[in-house]
Amino acid sequence: MVYKKFLTYKVQGLMSGAERDSVSLELKCASNTSNYLIHRALTQELTNKRSFTASTKTRSEVRGGGRKPWKQKGTGRARAGSIRSPLWRGGGVIFGPKPKQVKLKLNRKEKNLAITTLLVNKYEQTFVFENTSALIINTTNSSLSTVKWSPLLGTKQYVQLLKNRGIDMKRKTLVILSKDNPKKNHDTFGTALDNIPTIDINAVDNLSVKSLLNAEQIIFDSDLVGYLQFLYT
């Protein structure tokens, strides 16, 4: 069963902590009996990320074995044509693994429904901030009270700001960034937080079901609400 859920997020200023105008998001959500859909989406995602690289050699690929070890008849031993027969130690492998590609298909609407269901379920653990990538510390004074608007901010300063806004940096946190933003340059919110072990970064147009399941906290910018509404409904 699928129903629509209307979510209203309180928006905080990352620097000041002051509440801004709230933003709303209407998402489709699957009922509790539809957990199989999330399982399918997770299975598809993990399987498609696997690289099946295990490889063995057949008798024709093992080096050597071109000469017949002994004549066919008259020795009293079992006939043999190659020392690389699969029956011999050091021989080839019968039906061994070979590198392959395995891709599971999942309908786009099913994948989107799994993602929106997880976003709805994580509503209470979601934090929405404003202008996350538009801050800089004043170079003449490193205290957080002198933060000015600009596109640069370091890891330590972002961590402190997030702690001040109630984010527990010891918990697994998913940071959702715009599709043009993630880690492309050194002036972004994502780059500053990328080296923190508890933080996972996803682009808004490529959300990971695994990341959403693992996340104990979710952070995204208020500007992304429209993208989420457009991409996943």
The 10s digit of each residue's pLDDT in 56-70 is 999 999 999 999 999
Taking the alpha carbons at both ends of the chain, their separation in whole angstroms is: 16
Contacts of 58 (CB under 8 A, 6+ apart): 92, 93, 94, 96
Q: Which has the closest alpha carbon to 86: 57, 66, 129?
A: 57
Residue where a domain terminates, one of 78, 101, 124: 101
156 shares its domain with 208: yes
Give whole-number Cα distances, 95 to 55, 58, 114, 166, in Å.
11, 8, 38, 56
Q: Which residue has the higher pLDDT, 23 or 181?
A: 23
Measure the CA–CA gap between 159 and 74, rounded to whole angstroms: 82
- The whole-number pLDDT of residue 178 equals 80
Residues 37 and 122 in one domain: yes
β-sheet bridge partners, residue 25:
7
Res. 148: pLDDT tops 70: no
Q: Are strands 217-221 and 173-177 parallel, antiparallel or unpaired?
A: parallel
Q: Which residues pair with 24 in a beta bridge?
A: 8
Distance between CA atoms of residues 209 and 116, nearest Å = 10
- Please tell me the distance from the alpha carbon of residue 228 to that of residue 233, in angstroms, as a whole number: 8
Q: Answer yes or no: do 134 and 226 share one domain.
A: yes
Q: Is residue 22 over pLDDT 50? A: yes
Of 147, 145, 149, 146, give the one whose Cα is nearest residue 134.
149
Asked which of 101, 118, 138 is the last residue of a domain, the reply is 101
In this structure, the answer to whether residues 125 and 152 fall within a common structural domain is yes
Task: Report residue 137's pLDDT band, with 50, 70 and 90 as the boundaries.
Answer: very low
This prediction has a pTM of 0.78
For residues 150 and 221, membership in a common domain is answered with: yes
**If DSSP codes are grouped into helix, strand and coil, which group holds residue 188?**
coil
Residues 22 and 66 occupy one common structural domain = no
What are the CA-CA distances from residue 19 to residues 11, 29, 91, 153, 169 (Å)?
A: 6, 27, 71, 21, 21
| Residues of the domain holding 30 | 2-48+105-231
Do 36 and 146 lie in one domain? The reply is yes
Q: DSSP letter at 52? A: B
